[in-house]
Amino acid sequence: MQPLSKSEIKRKALIKATVCLVINNGFHAAPMSKIAKMANVSPGTIYLYFENKQDLINKVYLEIKASFAAHAFKDFNEQMTVEEGFKNIWKQIADFKLMQVDEALFLSQCDNTPMIDEESKKEGIKHLQPLLDLWKRGQEQGVIKNCCHYMLYAYTVYPLAFLMNAKQKKDITINEQYIQDAYLMAWDSIKQSK
Amino acid sequence: MQPLSKSEIKRKALIKATVCLVINNGFHAAPMSKIAKMANVSPGTIYLYFENKQDLINKVYLEIKASFAAHAFKDFNEQMTVEEGFKNIWKQIADFKLMQVDEALFLSQCDNTPMIDEESKKEGIKHLQPLLDLWKRGQEQGVIKNCCHYMLYAYTVYPLAFLMNAKQKKDITINEQYIQDAYLMAWDSIKQSK
DNA sequence: GAAAAATGAATGAACGTTCATTTTTTATAC
DNA sequence: GTATAAAAAATGAACGTTCATTCATTTTTC
pLDDT of residue B8: 87
Q: CA A57 – C1' D20 distance (Å)?
A: 14
pLDDT of residue A145: 97
Q: Is the pLDDT of residue B1 over 50?
A: no
Q: Is the pLDDT of residue A59 over 50?
A: yes
Footprint of strand D on the protein (CB under 7 A): A 6, 29-33, 43-44, 46-47, 52-54; B 6-7, 10, 40-45, 48
Q: Which of B105, B121, B152, B188 to mutate to probe the A interface, most A CBs <10 Å? A: B188
Measured N-to-C along each axis, helices B101-111 and B53-72 cross at an angle, to the nearest 10 degrees, of 120
Q: Which of B56, B122, B150 to mutate to probe the A interface, most A CBs <10 Å? A: B150
**What does the alpha-carbon distance between residue B179 and residue B114 come to, in Å, rounded to a whole number?**
30
The whole-number average pLDDT for the span A35-53 is 97
Interface contact A113-B113, CB threshold 8 A: yes
pLDDT tens-digit map of B109-120: 999 999 999 999
Q: Is the pLDDT of residue A2 over 80?
A: no
Q: Is the pLDDT of residue A20 over 80?
A: yes
Domain residue spans of chain A: 1-50, 61-190
**What does the alpha-carbon distance between residue B83 and residue B99 come to, in Å, rounded to a whole number?**
24
3-state secondary structure of A80: coil
pLDDT of residue B194: 74
pLDDT of residue B3: 59
Q: What is the number of CB-based contacts under 8 A between chain A and chain B?
A: 116
3-state secondary structure of A9: helix
Q: What are residue B20's phi and psi, to 5 degrees?
A: -60, -50
Q: What is the mean pLDDT of chain A?
A: 96
Query: Which residue, B162, B155, B145, is CA-closest to B184?
Result: B155
Q: Is the pLDDT of residue B2 over 60?
A: no
The whole-number average pLDDT for the span A116-124 is 94
The whole-number average pLDDT for the span A126-130 is 97
pLDDT tens-digit map of A130-159: 999 999 999 999 999 999 999 999 999 999
Interface contact A115-B26, CB threshold 8 A: yes
Residue with CA nearest C1' of nucleotide C19: B44
pLDDT tens-digit map of B155-183: 999 999 999 999 999 999 999 999 999 99
Contacts of B112 in chain A (CB under 8 A): 108-109, 111-113, 161, 165
Interface contact B163-A154, CB threshold 8 A: yes
Q: Is the pLDDT of residue B4 over 80?
A: no
CA-to-CA separations, A6 to A3, A10, A11, B132, B154, in angstroms, rounded? 9, 6, 9, 52, 42
Footprint of strand C on the protein (CB under 7 A): A 6-7, 10, 40-45, 48; B 6, 29-34, 43-44, 46-47, 52-54
Give the nearest partner residue to A188 out of B28, B153, B188, using CB atoms: B188
Question: What fold, for B61-190?
Answer: Tetracycline Repressor; domain 2 (1.10.357)
Alpha helices, DSSP H only, in chain B? 6-25, 32-38, 43-49, 53-72, 82-99, 101-111, 118-125, 129-140, 149-156, 158-168, 176-190
Interface contact B189-A26, CB threshold 8 A: no
pLDDT range class, residue A3, cuts 50, 70, 90: low
Nearest 10 degrees: Cα torsion B6, B11, B13, B19:
-170
The whole-number average pLDDT for the span A91-100 is 98
Contacts of B150 in chain A (CB under 8 A): 162-163, 166, 171-172
| Percent of chain B with pLDDT strictly greater than 90 | 95
Q: Given the cut 0.90, state whether the ipTM is greater than it.
A: yes
* Distance in Å from the first CA to the final CA of chain A: 48
pLDDT of residue A16: 97
Q: What is the mean pLDDT of chain B?
A: 96
Residue type at A93 in one-letter notation: I
Q: What is the DSSP string of B11-26?
A: HHHHHHHHHHHHHHH-
Query: Which residue, A131, A155, A149, A153, is CA-closest to A73?
Result: A131
Question: What fold, for A1-50?
Answer: Arc Repressor Mutant, subunit A (1.10.10)
Q: Is the pLDDT of residue A1 over 70?
A: no
**What does the alpha-carbon distance between residue A1 and residue A8 come to, in Å, rounded to a whole number?**
14
Nearest CA to CA, how far is B94 from chain A (Å)?
14
pLDDT tens-digit map of B134-160: 999 999 999 999 999 999 999 999 999
